[in-house]
Structure 1
């Protein structure tokens, strides 16, 4: 029921009283005899008005009183109770007083209510406004006591009757508090300002006659009049603001008036009118002049008062306040969001009344819609508050908070976590159940999109909770997520708000977690956060200095100077309007917004209002000039300086696209731009693992967003390897099998001839081609494909000097074809490329010119071309164990004598009369042109193939060789879906190298099996025995003898046979198996456990994260080479043989490998075309020319005596199960003099009769 309905019903009920007719007749007679009540005229005052200099101040309404009384003699009511209730309703509006008495059950209240209704009706009859009536007093005027009426009950004294007593009600049309403040402010102005000064500060329009007069602009009507009068007054205020601008707002004291109206706790109409005035100003399009005074005034918190009005007891006031806030939020300056958000969030978090919280959340939703960009920027401030309010005890608040969370999360536009947003919201609602599963999913997610403030704000509660979990696995995965996301953060300003919440948790885990691998993951995340957030090593992120910002005083000084330059001499630093513009400029600068259009849209309208009185005709151009000067002088100066080069507009664009790229769980590129011109040759540079080969593969597979389709641009990827399944295919057949090449056999043969293939070589099998010829074959396919873009990944791999020059000449001759080249050959790139595409910090940067020009622009890139060792980046090769019978490093371990060899499918012989040897001191470089037989020679040496014409190859029985093939990846091609750890566990599961056991030379052929069957017969004492297995080995002079078990007989019947005899019987490969097993045993097995394998790969620069958690398919070429190197050296080889090791290693890794090989204690054989690499290691050269070997620099004849010294501090040894083998140190053998001395001591003791036979010190005599 409304107040109007309530008063009407009360009045109608009053007419039913039995005495009412008599009282009404009496009142009518008094009314006729008295003059009509009216307001007294306002006193004359010659002071100036706020609107016109010559006008009078606003009139102060006179207080007109009306009273009514009637006898209480017949109602038996205590005077004390009546007086108490009268004091309660004093100074309250008449309707409120009636409402209060209505809900009281006391008889006295009902009587006072009836009296109030009657008094109100009398006042209305006198022409007074009932809505402006206030109960001034309500009391009992006692008469003389007459008698006491005794009644039953507890009150035995009864009630004294006073027949002459009267209940007095005094009503007053009282001015509101806002009117009183207005009148007080007018009196102060009239005393302190002269009419002339007041007129010059108003800065109103010239047409003063069009403006409302003081009589028309009745400010009291805004807060106290009925709705029609209130609307009219609001329109008048809007017109004054429109004509007068900001100066009119200041002189009208509008913020004070609005705040005063909202503070009228006893006047509902005033509060409602104040809120409606703001909505009227917004509707009239005049909020911009008012905005600074409402949002930035420190003395008048209008916004806070509006938020408090959300909990007003009146629905009308509540609705008006909510509408006012929503209205001005929709039209306010976008960059002012930062001013109102802190008080809004504080009210949402701490308000005592739930209506304020729900109303504040509604305003938050409105901000998300009206200013989404600003709310996204400020989302880190909002999320903690919403996370707290979601657990409010009031269900309405909880429901509103969850709805606001959903709306706020719509600002997150990170594609990687879009599908996880509902799950992240559930983590805030139900963290116990949802956090573990969500972390599991996110840890397996590949992040490629840039991580901004909204993304981190949404993720931070989950990450903080994940770091606090008890399970090590969950904490580790949380660290992985932090590490992955930190990689994609653009600058420290984004991550800085979250450092105090994440970094201390990571540091705590690093100090407490027991798992070393998990600790290393956490340590990596800490390093990444420190790097991105610029956090010192001794800080946990909670004590960081504030980020450098633009000082407000500096912005104010620049703004005031710029305004005065336009002729605005009244601009002052302490002016509210100027201060507001400066605050907006500060906000723009601190947000690193450098776009002039954004500054113009934010500030030009406000500056135009400030300059309107100076020169209205040119105000817009002047305002833009002020904005430009403000932008130039206050922009942040800590932005990264980047080289920007104009693209050649004359050339044809083949590609111009922006994209992101990832491989596995690793982010490679983030919103990178690739632009390619026809005829240019681009060198693609970057460290190992930055995604060079992956980018080219993604281009070919159509995985680069925006890259032209194959119908528009023909792109060909020049493979650097050929599948082993095609070894028997001829060269011509191989090209014909490529469905992309639309050419007949004649055209194919002609294309092959252009790259050097003779007719005979065109008919040879793929398997007979060397690595260099295979690369030329790949280039021939690209020529026949007629590509627009050639993608060449390490094109000089396996090429000799002549063929490298040929490919340089060929690529530079292509004028209509664009090339993208990845190569570690700096000389080749410098002669070939026209531009450099540099992959750095997940971006693509283009630099014109060759490598020399690039090195000048990017000095740190010199490390890509120089082989220089680094103290921080090293490879460590395991030291080889001692070999039985090998006392010096020059003793031969491998020998070849008069070896001749020819591939079965080849038409000519490959090797002729090769004789050589290898020792522990060998440092050999095998050099020669493509097809000279270098790789064939090494394969014969290590036993991959055997001499098939003549000659023999001998090696020490216990020798272990570590071999990396020319096509290094063939070692792992069948295991790409395994992690390096799983690959090592598979390869060495039996303690032996399964790859070596699976070689063709280790497989027993049918002929060998037949020979073994015949040779297994042994006749002993006329009885035939059959050798079943070789079970052991022992030393026999300069060779070995082997223990053999017989079929169907016990081990007691085993016999020993010499090596030569078993070889004659056909058991050579079985003997080799035993030798390999014994060699491994003598080298002592390394524990095949995760910790040891991770440590081994870390010695080759491969982090444990890649070793344990990344499949080899997702590793870069350089990382795969490190896996192959690590796997080849796991058994601590005595000789390391590397075929083209420089093909996929960057310069840093190459330098580390060189240094490791220099200090390696075993022999080294290297096949390479990289002279710089070979000369830095090798002192001996094997030059291969047409199948013949020319050795130089060797020391075979001198046979120096570099003695192998056994180290006392040998590393720990383990058995196959990982148990440590404790071996006692043997005492050093005595020399001759020491031995003679001991003998003399022994003889002397014997002469004295002492028994020395049991004394340990004489055991070695």
Structure 2
């Protein structure tokens, strides 16, 4: 029942050594028997002993007492740390050596009372920082690297106050910025808003001042972000502090007739009440501790448990009561927190799962939907049943490489390089370790039943004998569903399952899931699917999970009606987010956006592993006004056609032509493969690596490197530099003059690289500056494009064309951090995520934005997107739709999201069994059409003479027939390839236009 009167501590400074010693011994004796819950009663004396007015000896003694108490009652000191830390930190700079040493020891002791494992390695720096401003700078720098995963409570926040106070008052804006980043990181992992309230009066003004005084925009943005995080972490706090007076009423009520009312009883009752109030405010409700440290004396020991129970109930804030699902069998009911890196995704949230339910998981990008499902599947969610108790399977698009055994040469075999049936067997037996072993025959029969092809069976887009790497996202998902079915999974978790599926396969998936006996947790941006399948909605809201129970087939609709503020989940809108695409820029010889700049002519393509072609006789054109949706069933050839168009695959038959200087951006179906090697880098660093030297390294990786038969034959021929003219020519045959042969052999040259390009004077062709193998740069030569193609070096020419196109696209950009950050901001990526967050810490939606922004860095003329809607939330989709509408380049989209396609495309390329059918058309806007119609078009014949073709309305039928003959003659005379393919196609288009005009005007 002892407390520490201030006058006892004052005796530590008595002139008499005996008195001073006796005072210190008395204090230590009291501290040995005092209850840990007496910390509030002790604080007045302790603060007085460390105040400015206290004598040095008194300060030293007080610091020693606090040090002793910290080792005895760390939780109690942690509770009081917000009050203790600043006085102790100040005394570490005391002019008296004895006081300073005692303060450093005390600071070390109380800093160890935070209970936060993430902070432990940094605590010595925190103690050092209290002693000087130089040490503060070093500490701030170190703390910036601290990743807070454990929930941050009041003691951890409190111990940082001295460091943050000095840092936020520092002259250096970089130090202030880093302090704000630390505040932001720590407050994101605060579980209980009440933990922030004690530090708000001190920290809020400092961070707010930083937002007003920092001049650097990026640093100021970090301060503004930290202030929002700080304030949000304290939102919704219902403080339930219990006073000693309130506790005293409960004590007397519990005692009833046993309350005597005499002076001794009143003193004892008041002391017990004070201890009980402190224990309650510390949220410490261990029954044994209450019995030992609060109610050891009679008559209180008999009622201490009743008092503890009443005060525990009184301390709890009123919680929002959700509608309970009382029917059915429980699979899981509990609470947990979830963090990812420096982000707190969920804090102390509840979740209740029942058998045979379909839970739709809703929330914005980076809220933690995928992370939650992956944590459950990987047995990382605290308190959630392990797989041997509750089989949980996570199905996603991307399948990671797994090293499964070692070959004879010592290299591991990756599971994704194995056949699909093998992957399912391995996943069931080795990854999930089910009791019932999945056999090869079981797996093959099941995969056949869900549509996989097989030897001797139907030729499907995916064959169960082919490696997993050859499967598209839809087939990979089917393969994982087979594994889930074989394992009899209790909980099946699906991440965007409809993303790669056509209409028929979505129906198949719905039927399959209807018959699934367990429960399903699913995230999807496909509203009709979710509305049809969901029985419940689990919504991410302010780091909590809120469950909504609805009627099947209209659950999502009912949720939207009840919570209209959640409409962004269901509408394509950019009210919250906006993308801004760069202007493509001009192309040489292209004066109209409607002019054809990319053409596929009679192209067929057959994969080496297949007998039948995947696409057959496909012809199409692309201009900068193209708004095309490429649609069709899975396996119809959509992605293959695009891969051939962009150069990822080489056509088996037919040809691809593109305008000189054309820049294309291609975002593949599995967009994340662009980022796989850069997960430890920031988005800014990735873009700066990718485009260093004006080359797109990702683009160069996917270009087909195989030589055609003609190119291989051409390269087998020998070429030399003529000693007289300096021109490159083919080496003469052996039958020619021996002397000439000898001279030619000595001058044989092989291109090593193209280092520059120029247009030949008065001609529409290019020359390339060639660096020759084994020759120095001063021996470079300019070689005509046609010669290089004849030599077999078309790809060398194409690469230099792409480099020149890229350079033209970057005339207004610099590859610097500020420039890249600005570019990323146009795609919804803030500077903090752009330059201070590793890619592996970003959500799937943010990664898609990074890939999209990188693809648009070179200001492309044509953007090709294969399944761009995967992982983007509704806000992101809305922003993408409106950005594509405003974009001045051509757009090609492969997507099964009808709502998205209808919002963008006016032209459809429909693939059916490898054949193409085109519906609709892409047209320029009215203003552009009027502008282009004002000028006459100039067309040249094979001899370079201009053919004047005015608007059809101004030509008589006789004139039109004459122009038709001139054009036909020009095309016929082009056997010697005087004109380029582009010029021939332009003439053919004009010819067809004139013929159609004559036909239309002819009498019926």
Q: With the length of structure 2 as denominator, give the TM-score of the two structures.
A: 0.75
**For the Cα contact (< 8 Å) 1:390–1:399, is it kept in 2?**
yes
2:604 maps to which residue? 900
Partner of residue 1105 from structure 1, selected from 817, 821, 832: 832
Aligned-pair distance for 1:444?
1.6
Q: Work out the CA distance in 1 between the residues paired with 2:143 and 2:776.
A: 62
Deviates more, 1:1156-1165 or 1:1077-1086: 1077-1086
2:420 maps to which residue? 731
Q: Secondary structure at the match of 1:717?
A: strand
Q: 1:867 aligned to 2:572? A: yes
Aligned-pair distance for 1:906?
1.7
Assess, with a 3 A threshold, how the Cα gap between structure 1 residues 589 and 922 changes in structure 2: closer, same or farther: farther
2:340 maps to which residue? 662
Partner of residue 805 from structure 2, selected from 1074, 1079, 1082: 1079
Q: Work out the CA distance in 2 between the residues paired with 1:562 and 1:855.
A: 51
Assess, with a 3 A threshold, how the Cα gap between structure 1 residues 734 and 395 changes in structure 2: closer, same or farther: closer
Assess, with a 3 A threshold, how the Cα gap between structure 1 residues 912 and 1093 changes in structure 2: closer, same or farther: same
Q: Work out the CA distance in 2 between the residues paired with 1:1023 and 1:426.
A: 74
After superposition, the C-alpha distances for 1:975-1006 in whole angstroms (9 at most, x for unaligned) are 32332222222221111212222334256568
2:863 maps to which residue? 1136
Assess, with a 3 A threshold, how the Cα gap between structure 1 residues 359 and 863 changes in structure 2: closer, same or farther: same
Aligned-pair distance for 1:580?
6.0
Q: CA RMSD in A?
A: 4.8
2:765 maps to which residue? 1040
After superposition, the C-alpha distances for 1:1222-1242 in whole angstroms (9 at most, x for unaligned) are xxxxxxxxxxxxxxxxxxxxx
* Pairing of 1:25-104 with structure 2 (within 5 A): none
Q: Secondary structure at the match of 2:661?
A: coil
After superposition, the C-alpha distances for 1:630-687 in whole angstroms (9 at most, x for unaligned) are 999x979xx5743445575962546857454323x44444455666555444433332
Aligned positions, number? 876
Aligned-pair distance for 1:735?
3.7
Aligned-pair distance for 1:1156?
1.0
Aligned-pair distance for 1:457?
1.8
2:735 maps to which residue? none
* Pairing of 1:1135-1214 with structure 2 (within 5 A): 1135-1195=862-922, 1202=929
Q: Work out the CA distance in 1 between the residues paired with 2:387 and 2:173.
A: 48
Q: Work out the CA distance in 2 between the residues paired with 1:832 and 1:531.
A: 34
* Pairing of 1:292-303 with structure 2 (within 5 A): 303=5
Q: Secondary structure at the match of 1:349?
A: coil
Q: Work out the CA distance in 2 between the residues paired with 1:600 and 1:1190.
A: 80
Partner of residue 166 from structure 2, selected from 452, 458, 465: 465
**For the Cα contact (< 8 Å) 2:626–2:923, is it kept in 1?**
no
* Pairing of 1:561-710 with structure 2 (within 5 A): 591=281, 641-644=319-322, 646=324, 651-653=329-331, 658=336, 660-663=338-341, 665-671=342-348, 676-710=353-387
Q: Work out the CA distance in 1 between the residues paired with 2:725 and 2:125.
A: 83
After superposition, the C-alpha distances for 1:925-978 in whole angstroms (9 at most, x for unaligned) are 1111111111112122222223213x3222211111111001111222233233
1:408 maps to which residue? 110
Q: Based on CA coordinates, which of the two structures has the bigger radius of gyration? A: 1
Aligned-pair distance for 1:557?
14
Q: Work out the CA distance in 2 between the residues paired with 1:701 and 1:874.
A: 35
Q: Work out the CA distance in 2 between the residues paired with 1:1150 and 1:880.
A: 22
After superposition, the C-alpha distances for 1:906-928 in whole angstroms (9 at most, x for unaligned) are 23222222222221111111111
Q: Secondary structure at the match of 2:628?
A: strand
Aligned-pair distance for 1:869?
1.9
**For the Cα contact (< 8 Å) 1:1139–1:1167, is it kept in 2?**
yes
Aligned-pair distance for 1:781?
2.8
2:446 maps to which residue? 751
Q: Work out the CA distance in 2 between the residues paired with 1:404 and 1:709.
A: 44
**For the Cα contact (< 8 Å) 2:11–2:23, is it kept in 1?**
yes
Q: Work out the CA distance in 2 between the residues paired with 1:852 and 1:603.
A: 56
1:1014 maps to which residue? 717
Q: Secondary structure at the match of 1:1033?
A: strand
After superposition, the C-alpha distances for 1:610-647 in whole angstroms (9 at most, x for unaligned) are xx9xxxxxx9999979996x999x979xx574344557
Assess, with a 3 A threshold, how the Cα gap between structure 1 residues 933 and 474 changes in structure 2: closer, same or farther: same
Aligned-pair distance for 1:387?
1.7
1:445 maps to which residue? 146
Specify every segment of 5 or more residues in structure 2 that has no aligned partner in the other structure, as ranges: 402-413, 730-748, 933-1004
Q: Work out the CA distance in 2 between the residues paired with 1:948 and 1:1199.
A: 40
Q: Secondary structure at the match of 1:757?
A: coil
2:952 maps to which residue? none
Assess, with a 3 A threshold, how the Cα gap between structure 1 residues 1128 and 868 changes in structure 2: closer, same or farther: same
2:682 maps to which residue? 979
Aligned-pair distance for 1:1035?
6.9
Q: 1:526 aligned to 2:227? A: yes
* Pairing of 1:1050-1129 with structure 2 (within 5 A): 1057=784, 1063-1064=789-790, 1066-1085=792-811, 1086-1129=813-856
Q: Work out the CA distance in 2 between the residues paired with 1:768 and 1:1050.
A: 43
Assess, with a 3 A threshold, how the Cα gap between structure 1 residues 757 and 1045 changes in structure 2: closer, same or farther: closer
Assess, with a 3 A threshold, how the Cα gap between structure 1 residues 852 and 323 changes in structure 2: closer, same or farther: farther
**For the Cα contact (< 8 Å) 1:600–1:627, is it kept in 2?**
no
Assess, with a 3 A threshold, how the Cα gap between structure 1 residues 477 and 808 changes in structure 2: closer, same or farther: same
1:880 maps to which residue? 584
**For the Cα contact (< 8 Å) 1:379–1:457, is it kept in 2?**
yes
1:151 maps to which residue? none
Aligned-pair distance for 1:1019?
6.9
After superposition, the C-alpha distances for 1:1153-1198 in whole angstroms (9 at most, x for unaligned) are 1111111111111111111111112122222221222211215799
**For the Cα contact (< 8 Å) 2:548–2:559, is it kept in 1?**
yes
**For the Cα contact (< 8 Å) 2:447–2:464, is it kept in 1?**
no
Specify every segment of 5 or more residues in structure 1 that has no aligned partner in the other structure, as ranges: 1-281, 288-294, 296-301, 536-545, 613-618, 1206-1261
Q: Work out the CA distance in 2 between the residues paired with 1:1080 and 1:433.
A: 47
Q: With the length of structure 1 as denominator, give the TM-score of the two structures.
A: 0.61
Assess, with a 3 A threshold, how the Cα gap between structure 1 residues 1181 and 981 changes in structure 2: closer, same or farther: same
Assess, with a 3 A threshold, how the Cα gap between structure 1 residues 332 and 315 changes in structure 2: closer, same or farther: same
1:241 maps to which residue? none
After superposition, the C-alpha distances for 1:296-346 in whole angstroms (9 at most, x for unaligned) are xxxxxx933444344456778667766776677777787764354134312
* Pairing of 1:860-1009 with structure 2 (within 5 A): 860-870=565-575, 872-949=576-653, 951-1001=654-704, 1004=707, 1008-1009=711-712
**For the Cα contact (< 8 Å) 1:563–1:626, is it kept in 2?**
no
Aligned-pair distance for 1:792?
2.4
Q: Work out the CA distance in 1 between the residues paired with 2:696 and 2:102.
A: 65
Assess, with a 3 A threshold, how the Cα gap between structure 1 residues 459 and 957 changes in structure 2: closer, same or farther: same
Partner of residue 820 from structure 1, selected from 521, 525, 536: 521
Aligned-pair distance for 1:828?
2.5
1:721 maps to which residue? 398
Q: Work out the CA distance in 2 between the residues paired with 1:330 and 1:737.
A: 62
Q: Work out the CA distance in 1 between the residues paired with 2:477 and 2:376.
A: 20
Q: Work out the CA distance in 1 between the residues paired with 2:350 and 2:672.
A: 31
2:506 maps to which residue? 804
Q: Secondary structure at the match of 2:692?
A: coil
Assess, with a 3 A threshold, how the Cα gap between structure 1 residues 620 and 1071 changes in structure 2: closer, same or farther: closer
Q: Work out the CA distance in 1 between the residues paired with 2:663 and 2:333.
A: 52
Assess, with a 3 A threshold, how the Cα gap between structure 1 residues 733 and 599 changes in structure 2: closer, same or farther: closer
Assess, with a 3 A threshold, how the Cα gap between structure 1 residues 1121 and 1052 changes in structure 2: closer, same or farther: closer
1:773 maps to which residue? 475
Partner of residue 381 from structure 1, selected from 83, 91, 100: 83
**For the Cα contact (< 8 Å) 1:771–1:798, is it kept in 2?**
yes
**For the Cα contact (< 8 Å) 2:593–2:624, is it kept in 1?**
yes
* Pairing of 1:160-179 with structure 2 (within 5 A): none
Aligned-pair distance for 1:514?
6.5
Aligned-pair distance for 1:1147?
1.2
* Pairing of 1:535-546 with structure 2 (within 5 A): none
Aligned-pair distance for 1:839?
3.9
Aligned-pair distance for 1:359?
4.5
Q: Work out the CA distance in 2 between the residues paired with 1:626 and 1:705.
A: 28
